Amino acid sequence: MNLKSIAVFFVVLFVGMGSAVAHHHDGEIDEVLKAIDVVPTRAQLDHNLKNAQERIIHAMNDTKRNEYERQRAITLLSLYPNQKTKDALLEGFRTFENPQLKKYTIYTLARTFGEASDDSIRQAIAQAKNDESLDVRKFAKLAEKYLQPKTTEPSVK
Amino acid sequence: MRSRNVLCVLVLGAVLSFGCGGDDKEEPLVVLNNSNNVNNANNSNNANNANNANNANNGISQLEVLLDTSVTTAATGQTQNITFDVPEGAQSVVVNVIGTSPNQYTLNSWIDADGTQLVTTNWVRQDQFAPQFCTGCLQRVTSAVGAFAAMAPTNQDVELVSGTHTIQVEAFSVAGNQIAGVAGEAQILVTAKVAPERPPAGTIDLNFFFTGARGWTAETAKTDQVFQGVIEEVRTLYAQVGIELGDLAYYDISEDYQIIEIDQTTASLSPLFAESRMADNDAVNLFFVDELMQSGPLGGFGVVLGISGGIPGPTGQVGTARSGVAIATKSMPGVPTPMSKVIAHEMGHFLGLYHTAEQLLPIQDQLDDTSGSADELMNAAGNGDRLSEFQGVVMRLNPWVKN
């Protein structure tokens, strides 16, 4: 085996591995995405999952995952109120065709960044209010209130 | 406080009256029968369960109200010591604290008649996992917004001792990682389930509340094949621990509750659960909504499929901010857990069961016969089937289950 064939072997191997990683179903995060009644803290995610935010963003865009898991991923990004989350959600809002995902991107953007939301978020909400999907329009309306000063919960005994 | 003890009785089908007995301090104890006509008590093939069902037919348990009073929390958030007498033959005791949203409530301490500390004093400020769980407590408790309940025993290590028990209630708020005591009033209701032995079977009545989600209403759900199929599956899951579903009541509530958002200040969950005040029977309340968005304990939020009003939920009163279980009904392709298991899982919490293993936390429930495996109904994904023997004991000890 000459040097060239060794080099080709490793190139093929690395490309193959890269492809496998890109399509790898992230089993470690499955538990978090499948949970039915738990919202973790950011510290719990970061302590247990290396590169948690990146992996959640990957899960949100992973078309092999079911709708619930992707909705979980979108909404759990609220634990990371930073530019990376904002970019990922705005991109999701632009590209998701499924209204059940799209509606959560707009809602999560507003609820996460709230009154501090920038023009890009405000514009996305305005766009969502005219979306063809009733669900997206409904969630855009819910989202809008997070741009306003919050009110207190009515007292219930 | 003991002189304020008032006994009321919970009779099958009767309205649960929080104030029964009123403030009449010297009212003699009255114990009414809590038996609930488990005529068809058990569909299980298990012979022991069948025998148990016969016992349940005889109405083996009674509920006694040990304490029904108002208390005041100081600026520290804590009350003075509150005492109540646990009678001989008590198999379980539930302490209910009914306060005001959005304050959180829990027990600051619970010491039994032998001086054993069931709930560790000051756990909210000391436990590693506070205010979510008191993991250092012999009798695990949690905390809840608006209303709270603690039940003992919910694990094999707690022995319920008759005699005078002493509790302190705590009201607090959470801002960031900071816990601040809240001064105010709260109502305390303490009940005991009294029986010659731990009830081996029981029946639970359910109230269904419909928001129009999934097209279900009080009228249509009675004959909707999908809905009735879901309830049949819940019936099967609970039959394995000798609990059968009893009376089922159907109610409509506002469509405004179809989407439930829970955050630190604008939670719509408490008003939803408070709608249970329209029910006139002592049954666990299930609310069918479209979608649920739960806030995280320290910020953020996430979509969930179900929420229980507590672990356990309040007993002996409807219409509180925690009086029920909410279920998301929005149909989603590939949803990992079927609705029947979500209902059974959340009702499991409401009756006093914890997750067999908490997600991302080194916390397991306190039971010896659970493992945290995926085949358990109370694992965090809720997609298992199995309930353990002692999980069944805990559920049947809850006052909502009539024996």
Number of neighbouring beta carbons within 10 Å of residue A58: 17
Looking at the fold, whether A64 and A85 belong to one and the same domain comes out as no
Quick one: average pLDDT of B207-223?
97
Q: Which amino acid is at B176?
A: G
Residues A67 and A27 in one domain: yes
Q: Which residues in chain A are contacts of B334 at CB distance < 8 A?
A: 66-69
Asked, for residue A157, whether it belongs to a domain, the answer is no
How many Cβ atoms are within 10 Å of B164's Cβ, its own excluded? 13
For residues A21 and A12, give the distance between their C-alpha atoms in angstroms, rounded to a whole number.
Answer: 14
Angle (CA) B352 B1 B172, round 5°: 55
Phi/psi for B213 (5° steps) reads -60, 140
CB contact under 8 A, A37 and B265: no
SS3 A60: helix
Instruction: Mark whether A1 and A63 lie in a shared domain.
Output: yes
Q: Given a cut of 70, is residue A57 above it in pLDDT? A: yes
Q: What is the pLDDT of residues A3-55, one digit of tens each?
A: 445 544 444 444 444 433 344 456 579 989 999 999 999 999 999 999 999 99
Q: Mean pLDDT lowest for which of A89-98, A133-142, B323-332?
A: B323-332
Do the domain assignments include residue A154?
no
Residue A130, in any domain of the structure: yes
Instruction: Provide the domain limits for residue A103.
Output: 81-148
The reply to whether residue A36 touches residue B306, judged by beta carbons under 8 angstroms, is yes
Phi and psi (nearest 5°) for B260? Answer: -105, 120
Locate the chain B residue with the closest alpha carbon to A152. Answer: B265
A97 & A132 share domain: yes
A-chain residues near B259 (CB < 8 A): 138, 142
Mean pLDDT of chain A: 84
| A156 within domain boundaries | no
The whole-angstrom distance between A93's CA and the closest CA on chain B is 17
Read off the tokens for B17.
């009256």
Residues A90 and A56 in one domain: no
Q: Which residues pair with B376 in a beta bridge?
A: B386
Of the residues A53, A72, A91, which one is the last residue of a structural domain?
Answer: A72
Centre a 10 Å sphere on the Cβ of residue B149 and count the other Cβ atoms it contains: 32
Show which of A46, A72, A98 is a domain's final residue. Answer: A72
Any domain includes A141: yes
**Which residues have a Cβ under 8 Å from the Cβ of A101 and sit 6 or more positions away?**
A60, A67, A70, A71, A74, A92
Give CA–CA dist B403/B336, Å, rounded. 34
Domain assignment present for A123:
yes
Same domain, A31 and A95: no
Mean pLDDT of B162-185: 93
In a domain? residue A119: yes
Least confident of A77-91, A139-153, B16-30, B268-282: B16-30
Tell me the nearest-neighbour CA distance from A90 into chain B, angstroms.
18
Q: Do both A32 and A57 map to the same domain?
A: yes
Question: What is the biggest distance separating any 2 CA atoms in chain B, rounded to whole angstroms?
Answer: 60
Note whether A64 and A95 are same-domain residues: no
Q: What is the 3-state secondary structure (H, E, C) of B136-152?
A: CCCCCCCCEECEEEEEE
Say whether both A5 and A57 belong to one domain: yes
Q: Say yes or no: A2 and A23 in one domain.
A: yes
Asked whether B236 and B230 are in contact (CB, 8 A), the reply is no
- Find the CB nearest A31 among B263, B301, B381: B381
A46 and A85 share one domain: no
The reply to whether A3 and A35 lie within a common domain is yes
CA B330 to CA B50: how far, in whole Å? Answer: 37
Domain boundary among A72, A93, A117: A72
Mean pLDDT taken over chain B:
85
Q: Is the confidence at residue B381, as pLDDT, over 80?
A: yes
The SS3 call for residue A55 is: helix
Q: What is the pLDDT of residues B125-155, one digit of tens each?
A: 999 999 989 999 999 999 999 999 999 999 9
Is residue A153 in some structural domain? no
Tell me how many domains chain A contains.
2
ipTM for the predicted complex: 0.82
